[in-house]
Structure 1
């Protein structure tokens, strides 16, 4: 009987671990942390870092990709966010975190084609070796990180979803990212600082 109980306990522990976040997802930035810079290849072949942007007030770093239907549903909204806030000093920095060997649709060549077809006005960077997304703690595509540029570093101000309705942009009730950026630019406290990112899991 004791052996049976022990076996059942082991089975429960093993099953539980199967649904635990992978090791590389356990850490990541929290609100108030200072985000490290990076140097990643853009679809135009140039290397891009946050430090390249001198006259900005912050950055909207979005982990996204070609293949995910959630990312596709948000694509036009991401483009609109850049068009609205780039001139206000908060550009979009898009990063593809997926392993192209696991998801070929997210290869560098396909990224270049997608950016050209959609006319991206923002960098679309490839996280080669998948080194940056675990540092940020990104888990889904899309997953947003709003950073405020300060004299003491790039401070994380918001983490999560773009808004509350990925299916229908016209039915959105709460624009999490826009609200956060507007508050940051006005020097006000951000009301909603964390939301659950809705999207596809990152392919590792």
Structure 2
């Protein structure tokens, strides 16, 4: 997977990792973006690494091209890397379905949460509650009380 654009280095050991499949054109991904970005900023100081990945077919969806991804990161000053999965292999291996599709991994890289950031992409007051709850539980060494929710968003645009 191409490293794609990144504005911050989050190297080193982490307490958790969040991987989010997203894109530049989907209203669901755009609706949740600011909440995910705030999560990346809020939890970065707590040892959580956030990664965003875009696996969409950029020939059919030019807004999801590597160049468009780079421009968006530059304009919005993302706090985490935005990876370009041109081959779509990573999305297939992770079984990512939608944009967004969120995964929370513990320090042993075991998936502890998978699904949507919260219950409604249109309600910013929810502040990615499902994601934040999972992170708080992982960071405190507890079992995740809600390990899976239905991912909601636009389907990943597979190459034909």
Fold in common (TM above 0.5):
yes
User: Is the counterpart of residue 196 in structure 1 residue 150 in structure 2?
Assistant: yes
Pairwise CA distance, 1:55: 2.1
Q: Specify whether residues 73 and 56 from structure 1 end up closer, same or farther in structure 2 by C-alpha distance, changes over 3 A only.
A: same
Residue 9 of structure 1 aligns with which residue? none
Deviating above 3 A after TM superposition, structure 1's stretches of 4 or more consecutive aligned residues are none
Task: Tell me the SS of whatever aligns to 2:30.
Answer: helix
Task: Tell me the SS of whatever aligns to 1:159.
Answer: strand
Q: Is the 8 A contact 1:146 1:181 kept in 2?
A: yes
For residues 85 and 125 of structure 1, the distance between their equivalents in structure 2, rounded to whole angstroms, comes to 19
- Give the counterpart of 1:138 among 96, 115, 118: 96
- Give the counterpart of 2:112 among 157, 160, 163: 157
User: Is the counterpart of residue 148 in structure 1 residue 106 in structure 2?
Assistant: yes
Residue 87 of structure 2 aligns with which residue? 129
> What value does the CA root-mean-square deviation take over the aligned residues?
1.9
For residues 120 and 74 of structure 2, the distance between their equivalents in structure 1, rounded to whole angstroms, comes to 27
Bigger relative contact order (CA 8 A; separation at least 6) = 2
> What 5-or-longer segments of structure 2 have no aligned partner?
none
> What 5-or-longer segments of structure 1 have no aligned partner?
1-38
Q: Deviations over 1:80-112 (max 9, x none)?
A: 010011110112100001010121110011001
Residue 4 of structure 2 aligns with which residue? 42
Task: Tell me the SS of whatever aligns to 2:28.
Answer: helix
Q: Is the 8 A contact 2:36 2:128 kept in 1?
A: no
Paired residues in the alignment total: 157
User: Is the counterpart of residue 56 in structure 1 residue 14 in structure 2?
Assistant: yes
Q: TM-score, normalised by structure 2?
A: 0.92
